[in-house]
Amino acid sequence: MELLKGKQMLRYFENLARALLYLPYKELSEIEQKVIQSIAEGTPVAEDANEKFTDQLTFGERFSDSTAAFIESWTFIIVFLVGIVVWMAVNSYFTSVVQTFDPYPYILLNLSLSTLAAFQAPIIMMSQNRQSNKDKMEATLNYEVSLKTDLEITRLHQKLDELLEMQKNTGIKA
C-alpha cells in the first residue's frame, strides 16, 4: 500500500472504522481508534505490559514493591521468627542473672511488633493497589490485541468472500 498522507489517511481511517466497526472514526473510543490506525498503518498493537507499567513507577513505588516482596517471602518469615526466638531466649535467660531490658511479658517486643505491623500494612496495601492497576493495564492491552485480531479476521473473511464471488462470476472452479 502506498503511503497515505493527511486527508487521505483520515479518509482511510474513516472507511476502515465504518467497514469494520460500523461507526464513524470520530465516535470510536481511544482504544478503537488506536486499533484502526494500527490496521491502516500495518503496525503491531501489542505492548509489553510489564515494561510499560514499570517505566511509569516512581522511586517510592518501586521501593514499596520491593519491600512488600521481601515482607511476603519465606526469608523474612524465617529471619523474623529467629529474631523473636533469640529476643525471648536472651531476655528470659538473663532475667535470672541480671536485670534485662525487656523481661517477660516482653512489652518492648510487643511494641516493636505492633509498630512493624503498622508500617507493613500500608506498604503491602500500596503494592496490592499497584498490582491491581497493572492488571487493568494488561486487560486493556489484551483488549486492543483481541480487537485488532478480530478486525483483521473480519477483513480476511471479506476478502475471501470477494474472491469466491469473483470466482463464481467468472466461472472458475476451485
Q: Coil, strand, or helix at residue 103?
A: coil
Residue 33 lies in a domain: no
Residue 73 lies in a domain: yes
What local confidence, expressed as pLDDT, does residue 171 receive? 76
Other beta carbons within 10 angstroms of residue 35's beta carbon come to 27
Distance CA 104, CA 23 (A): 74
Residue 132 lies in a domain: yes
Q: Which of 129, 149, 167 is nearest to 44 (CA)?
A: 149
Residue 54 lies in a domain: yes
SS (H, E, C) 131-143: HHHHHHHHHHHHH
Supply the DSSP symbol for 27.
G
Cell 511488633 identifies what position?
113
CB 59 within 8 A of CB 53: no
Supply the DSSP symbol for 2.
P
Range of the domain at 130: 44-170
Distance CA 131, CA 54 (A): 11
Domain count, the chain: 1
Supply the DSSP symbol for 106.
T
Distance CA 34, CA 36 (A): 6
pLDDT digits (tens, 9 = 90+) for 27-71: 999 999 999 989 988 889 888 888 989 999 999 999 989 999 999
Residue 30 lies in a domain: no
What local confidence, expressed as pLDDT, does residue 3 receive? 53
pTM to 2 decimals? 0.67
Residue 2 lies in a domain: no
Indicate the length of the chain as a whole number. Answer: 174
pLDDT digits (tens, 9 = 90+) for 132-155: 999 999 999 999 999 999 999 999
Residue 143 lies in a domain: yes
Residue 72 lies in a domain: yes
